[in-house]
Amino acid sequence: MPSSARLHQAALPAAEAIVVTPLSLYIGAQVDGVDLSRPLPSAQREAIRAALLRWKVLFFHDQHLDHAQQVAFGRQFGEPTVGHPVFGHVEGHPEIYSVGRDRFKARFTDERLVRPWSGWHTDVSAALNPPAAAILRGVDIPPYGGDTQWTDLVAAYNGLSPTLRAFVDGLRGEHRFTPPEGAEARPGFSEPLAVRPLVSEHPLVRVHPETGEKALFVSPTFLKRIVGLSPRESEQLLELLFEHAIRPEYTVRFKWRPGSLAFWDNRVTAHQPPSDIHATDLPRQLYRITLVGDIPVGPDGRPSRTIAGEPVLAHPAA
Ligand SMILES: [Fe+2]
């Protein structure tokens, strides 16, 4: 058993013990021994919070929650936002965002991914205060295909040479909520965006508000340019950083089951939704909530700034 799992078990009374099993060297752990459908004992809640900070994405199985239970689970760790600041929410459930297989078909004329990193993103990173965390629940899951990957942006930052780390420490980037490169937007995408634009300038290196760790805050789908560089310099440096940030050793890949739940720290990770499911008619339906985040701060103490749009705030409790 990994030492971290023993640590969590030792710290809790036997009836409340949870088992945390790491899935890679840097990122991802499976959590067993909890029932997420009910309020968590405080010791379990704190153990989950600690495991989230350490492993950055936690996976749970056999948790068949409904919408209200998913929101109630999230509320124990923060304030749920509205489902999605641009695309809204599931009817009757203001905090729930539907992640269905065909949602991109409705938004883009061509959803093919033109570059290996073009689907990787940090959720809503174009907002001034991107969500601190997200909780994704699997309901209809294909028997194969449809895996999701996450990458550890702290490990990615630490994996850069000291010289490049010192250079990117002082840079800032412009995040824009726009269609992926090569995918033209359908009206269902561009119209809501015209009403609710999202453009922000964030530090390229973000200091985690709880752990103090530095993360390479690149969100390849939304980070469009580096401020102060020429277009070609920006394009080439971003290409280097994007390619680096998704190196296999920084990532974990999750195979969903109905009743699986992924809970990630959105401040120091990016993730890649599956593109293979578009090649089949297999159903895939998940539901996401996000928790309100703070405004990122760089190593120099400078916070992010809004270029267009509103912060993503809490949805008031029903
Ligand atoms: Fe996402």
- What string of pLDDT tens digits covers the 318 residues of the chain? 444 454 455 456 666 789 999 999 999 999 999 999 999 999 999 999 999 999 999 999 999 999 999 999 999 999 999 988 888 898 999 999 999 877 666 555 555 555 666 789 999 999 999 999 999 999 999 999 999 999 999 999 999 999 999 999 999 999 998 866 655 666 667 777 778 889 999 999 999 999 999 999 999 999 999 999 999 999 999 999 999 999 999 999 999 999 999 999 999 999 999 888 877 888 899 999 999 999 999 999 999 999 999 999 887 754
Q: Is 288 known to be catalytic? A: yes
Look at the chain and report how many structural domains it folds into: 1
Active-site residue among 8, 121, 208, 284?
Answer: 121
Q: Is 123 known to be catalytic? A: yes
Asked if the structure places residue 313 within a domain, the reply is no
Asked if the structure places residue 220 within a domain, the reply is yes
Ligand 1 centroid, distance to 169 Cα (angstroms): 25
Asked if the structure places residue 315 within a domain, the reply is no
Query: Per-residue DSSP letters for 147-199?
Result: -EEEEEHHHHHHTS-HHHHHHHHT-EEEEE--PPTT-PBPHHHHHHHHHS--E
Asked if the structure places residue 314 within a domain, the reply is no
Asked if the structure places residue 277 within a domain, the reply is yes
CATH code of residue 258: 3.60.130.10
Active-site residue among 123, 172, 202, 267?
Answer: 123
Asked if the structure places residue 69 within a domain, the reply is yes
Asked if the structure places residue 318 within a domain, the reply is no
- Residue 222, domain extent: 3-308
Q: Is 84 known to be catalytic? A: no
Asked if the structure places residue 163 within a domain, the reply is yes
